[in-house]
Amino acid sequence: MTSTRLTGLLAGGALILAASSASAQGPAPFEFGYGHLNFGIQASSHDLSQSTGFPIYEETARIQTSSNIGSTAIFDIGGGVRVWRQLYGGFSFSRGTNTNDGTVTASIPHPSNFDEFRTATATAPDLKHTEQAIHLHAMWRFPITTKFDVMVGLGPSFYSVKQDLVTGIGVAEMGNPTTGVSITSVNVERRSDSPVGYNLSADGTYLLTPRFGVGGFMRFTGASAELEVGNDTVDVDAGGFQIGVGGRVRF
């Protein structure tokens, strides 16, 4: 789902909820602020492409690594306070981690023939990807009934992105004289960045008691991290479409 389409859906939903609130039974109790604890999934996936070089045989070998950062479970906690009328200022802290295998393709110079390159492939297993983010948002509340309301908002997101990247390989020549080459090891190091992104979100709450309830949320958030490997830079997308459910508290 594109960010433009999701923004349209959230805006349309807000208009419908605003119209519905005019005939609602009255607002749910909401004196000062709210808190939430959610468990969910980040459904989006991102392709990761990395290119780096290293010196060998007085030339430069090139390593191409490709992988896919798939969907992952997330933990989300936060809250907010009323600022003015139905406007609330809030935050959410979310975290998700997953691992994926990478495909490594190397172009390796010949040890004795200048400017002659050979191709070898290998797998980089269990490349770990971690995202942590603090989402700040201004939320507008739409009371639907005495027990149910919806909040819609947006704001900046402050990410911490960590990713395992391939920094080098070990090679072995085959034959005497050389007839081929193979990759014997893959060197992996973790790199990190702290990009700033954005978030659009909607959160619904159904109260089971005057203070406690259950609810669900959906959020679209994104940021782009730049990770350095030697003299090369790897772009890593973070965030995506998130959805989850959890507990709610009002105070």
Identify the pLDDT of residue 15: 41
User: What pLDDT does 37 receive?
Assistant: 98
Spans of the chain below 50 pLDDT:
1-25
Burial of 177 (0-12, 13-18, 19+ CB in 10 A): exposed
Tokens encoding 102: 């990478």
pLDDT of residue 179: 85
Q: What is residue 231's predicted lDDT score, i.e. its pLDDT?
A: 84
Report the CATH fold assignment for 3-250: Porin (2.40.160)
pLDDT of residue 29: 56
| 8 A C-beta contact, residue 204 and residue 217 | yes
The pLDDT assigned to 28 comes to 55
State the pLDDT at residue 238: 96
What pLDDT shows up at residue 96? 97
- Which residues, at least 6 apart from 141, have a Cβ–Cβ distance to it below 8 Å? 30, 86, 87, 88, 149, 150, 151
